Amino acid sequence: MGGARNVFDKIPRGASCVTAVISGYAQMGSHVRLWSCILPNEFTLATILTSCSGACKLDLGRQVHSIAIKTNFESHIFVGSSLLDMYAKSNNILEARKVFDFLPERDVVSCTAILSGYAQLGLDEEALQLFIELYKEGMHCNYVTFTSLLTALSGLSALDYGKQVHSFTYRHELPFYVVLENSLIDMYSKCGSLTYARRVFNKMPERSSVSWNTMIVGYGCSHGGLVDEGLSIFDYMIKEKGLKPEIGHYGCVVDLLGRAGRIEKALDFIKNMPFEPTAAMWGSLLGACRVHINIPAGEFVAKRLLDIEPENAGNYVILSNIYASASRWQDVVDVRKLMMEKAVIKEPGRSWINLDKVIHTFYSSDRFHPKKGEIEAKIKEIYAKIKEAGFVPDLSCVLHDVDDEQKERMLLGHSEKLAITFGLMGTPRSFMLRITKNLRVCVDCHNFAKFVSMVYEREISLRDSNRFHLFVKGACSCGDYW
């Protein structure tokens, strides 16, 4: 690229060669401010906008947007779709939607761009709704559209819709696209159907590294506690294969050690590695400190994590859980105060269950659900039954400083308990309950699900923001390790 830039610097300015240079830079993932010296055309604008994706380049993107307005290219189909994509990728989905809504004509790319914008941000229900709308309006779909749609369906655990997409692509004899198949594997495994995921994987005529990763993640290998095997693979790649591990590999090792309770060793490993530790590393280690109740390490890790990621409410919640499990209530109160000082807002807990293609969503302490009364009665019945079988509520899961009775009531309002209860009410015993939760499942709800699976002889799959839990006969596939 340096050569191209040298040539460029010597020739007179004109839109076409500038576009070629920008395009070169854009493909390399960087952008340049060359456009300030020329009058841009639709090619220039679309190219530069593509290189503006990402929150840190939003200002630049906005400047290009204003140029697009001035030059009357805002509604050009290519400029418009890269513009909306730029907004979506920098977390401004409302602005992206505005651009989309004002496009004089839509095509498969602009529709896919807005759809994937919603899906990338985890706005899965919105993505599905929009897809249904556009589809009814006769939107044209291709394999990229389905790939994006599948991302949203994975997030919703919407197995029925996912199967529909699969059979649609099958019926229409789409050529083989590895990206689409990868999305299918991901969808099936996130919907709890590993058999189908594996079937897709097996039938692929060729696979990318993503296919393997997706399949491995589906099987949950990194959560299996195979510490020595993991460490020897890490050694093997360095010593035998001569590969230089990337920061992600170091992250895996930290996670592996932490999960196995070897927290001091993990801290040591972090100290000696050639990278700055990331929030992800500290985050996984903090989770480990909670599971293995290591308070000094937890405080140490939390301090570093909250420096890098002070806005992530989940970090405070785990720290608070660590204190609560050691009955250090004053520290719990202090964490809560700290959250208020920093104006951190915990995302409200939300769980959902798909029954007959309808997504039933429950919020924590849901006061507005139409079947509120029935659910309350049923949950009381469940609670009494599982208590008889030995269930003890874990009050350390409550972040608020209230009396025990109220804590118990608050725990019963957790959204995954409501979803499980609702599922039990409306389905036969042989029906596996598939619940999805937007946050990490708490210890009390995890225990609740274990007891329900035993007392009611019901299999429950619960996907939280972190991993899968399959509850059968009182035990969970995660080995109480998440």
Partner DNA sequence: TTAGGGTTAG
The whole-angstrom separation of Cα 78 and Cα 57 is: 20
* Contacts of 190 by beta carbon, 8 Å cutoff, 6+ apart: 154, 155, 157, 218, 463, 468
- Specify the residue, 263 or 286, whose C-beta has the smaller distance to DNA: 286
- Specify the residue, 252 or 338, whose C-beta has the smaller distance to DNA: 252
The whole-angstrom separation of Cα 270 and Cα 289 is: 15
From the CB of 451, what's the least distance to DNA, in Å?
26
Contact between residue 450 and residue 394 where contact means Cβ atoms under 8 Å apart: no
Contacts with DNA by CB under 7 A lie at 15-16, 19-20, 23, 26, 42-44, 46-47, 50, 53, 76-82, 85, 89, 107-110, 112-113, 116, 119-120, 142-145, 147-148, 151, 154, 177-180, 182-183, 186, 208-211, 213-214, 217, 248, 251, 255, 279-280, 282-284, 286, 305, 309, 312, 466
- Specify the residue, 259 or 417, whose C-beta has the smaller distance to DNA: 259
From the CB of 314, what's the least distance to DNA, in Å?
8
- Specify the residue, 43 or 323, whose C-beta has the smaller distance to DNA: 43
Contact between residue 211 and residue 182 where contact means Cβ atoms under 8 Å apart: yes
Q: Note the helical H segments in 240-294.
A: 247-259, 263-272, 279-291
Residue (of 110, 111, 128) closest to 119 by Cα position: 128
Residue (of 270, 274, 292) closest to 282 by Cα position: 270
- Phi-psi bin for 219: left (phi > 0), alpha (psi -120 to 50), beta? alpha
- Specify the residue, 177 or 300, whose C-beta has the smaller distance to DNA: 177
Residue found by looking up tokens 């269950």 in the block:
353
Q: Phi/psi at 470 (nearest 5 deg)? A: -115, 115
Residue (of 159, 209, 161) closest to 182 by Cα position: 209
- Specify the residue, 319 or 386, whose C-beta has the smaller distance to DNA: 319
From the CB of 458, what's the least distance to DNA, in Å?
26
From the CB of 34, what's the least distance to DNA, in Å?
12
From the CB of 460, what's the least distance to DNA, in Å?
20
- Specify the residue, 208 or 406, whose C-beta has the smaller distance to DNA: 208
From the CB of 448, what's the least distance to DNA, in Å?
23
- Specify the residue, 111 or 382, whose C-beta has the smaller distance to DNA: 111
Strands 358-363 and 350-355: antiparallel
From the CB of 154, what's the least distance to DNA, in Å?
6
- Specify the residue, 60 or 424, whose C-beta has the smaller distance to DNA: 60
Radius of gyration from C-alpha coordinates of the chain: 25
Residue (of 292, 223, 231) closest to 479 by Cα position: 223
| Cβ-count burial 109-143 (b if 16+ within 10 Å, e if not) | bbbbbbbbbbbbbebbbbbbebbeebeeeebebeb
From the CB of 211, what's the least distance to DNA, in Å?
7
Token couple for 7: 């040539």
From the CB of 108, what's the least distance to DNA, in Å?
4
